[in-house]
Amino acid sequence: MSQPIILYDIPATDPKRKAWSPNTWKARYSLNFKGLPYKTEWVEYPDIESVCTKIGAGPSSTRPDGSPGYTLPVIYDPSTKSVVADSLNIAKYLDKTYPDTPKLLPAGTEAFQSMFLGNVAPAISLPLLKILFHRQCTGLNDPSEKYFRSTREKMFGKKLEDMGGEEEWNKLEPALAKLNGWLSANGPGRDDLLTGDRIIFADIQLASLLIWAKVVCGEDSEDWKRLASLHDGKWKRFLAQFEKYGAVDI
């Protein structure tokens, strides 16, 4: 690898919370975990589509109106001249292209990880999304704030400030309680990672949701404290395992 990989991410106003998006954190943690050199290109929300089109990153989704949806993370790897969109595709690409780095999707875990991403993570990320929306939005730079607010309020038919609250905590807490129960099946001392003893992509998925909450709410906020105190500090402890992979090149 002669030149660093480029990671495209969405900036916030506050340098301390510059990397905040749970989706781009999945790619950032993946790169840091593998020890691959990279640098971040910061892209405001309204510019994501034009940047993706320019570098040749295809759409990662279809919008409700049928038009293509462009999202970050995207990476560009100058060593292979590859552009890869979507954090799971990035994880697969990195595993394949850099086989001497620790695997994010080791053989034997793919179906289970896919199940986690498809069935378990959304039960956590969806309520969290609504709890965090308005806080996240106010921390963005002006063009991103306007874009984020108008697209999300249209999508959900509500003001950002009218989402979240106890209703969403009442979904989030049971989802986390279930996950806590499943992790405990690994046995004492092995219940802080999905496979018990090594980090895989599904762990990174969960850590990305947790750092999102921590960064967006702030460590001293009531919401972060509430999340961090659940199940005897389970999620704070879970996230702490990722501190060494939390570097951001701001």
Q: How far is the CB of 126 from a copy of itself (least distance, A)?
A: 15
Query: Which of 35/122 has CB closer to a copy of itself?
Result: 122
Q: What own/partner pairs with CB < 8 Å and gap ≥ 24 does 90-98 have? A: 90/26, 90/27, 90/30, 91/26, 91/27, 91/30, 91/201, 91/204, 94/30, 94/31, 94/34, 94/36, 98/1, 98/34, 98/36
Angle 22-220-241 (CA atoms, 0-180°, nearest 5)?
Answer: 50
Q: How far is the CB of 203 from a copy of itself (least distance, A)?
A: 10
Q: Which residues of this protein are in contact with a copy of itself, per CB under 8 A?
A: 107-116, 118-120, 178-179, 181-183, 185-187, 190-191, 194-197
Q: How far is the CB of 195 from a copy of itself (least distance, A)?
A: 4
d(CA 203, CA 45): 27
Q: How far is the CB of 55 from a copy of itself (least distance, A)?
A: 27
Query: Which of 15/108 has CB closer to a copy of itself?
Result: 108
Among 48, 39, 51, 49, smallest CA distance to 7 is for 39
Q: Which residues pair with 84 in a beta bridge?
A: 75
Query: Which of 43/176 has CB closer to a copy of itself?
Result: 176
Q: How far is the CB of 92 from a copy of itself (least distance, A)?
A: 10
Query: Which of 2/119 has CB closer to a copy of itself?
Result: 119
Quick check: 231 and 175 in contact, CB under 8 A? no
Query: Which of 17/103 has CB closer to a copy of itself?
Result: 103
Enumerate residues 6+ apart whose C-beta is below 8 A from 211: 22, 25, 239, 242, 246
Q: How far is the CB of 234 from a copy of itself (least distance, A)?
A: 13
Scan for tokens 């790897």, then name that residue. Answer: 77
Scan for tokens 């986390």, then name that residue. Answer: 176
Angle 236-239-243 (CA atoms, 0-180°, nearest 5)?
Answer: 125
Query: Which of 226/231 has CB closer to a copy of itself?
Result: 231
With the CA atoms of 132, 133, 135 and 136 taken in that order, what torsion angle do they form, in degrees rounded to the nearest 10? 100
Q: How far is the CB of 139 from a copy of itself (least distance, A)?
A: 33
Query: Which of 31/179 has CB closer to a copy of itself?
Result: 179
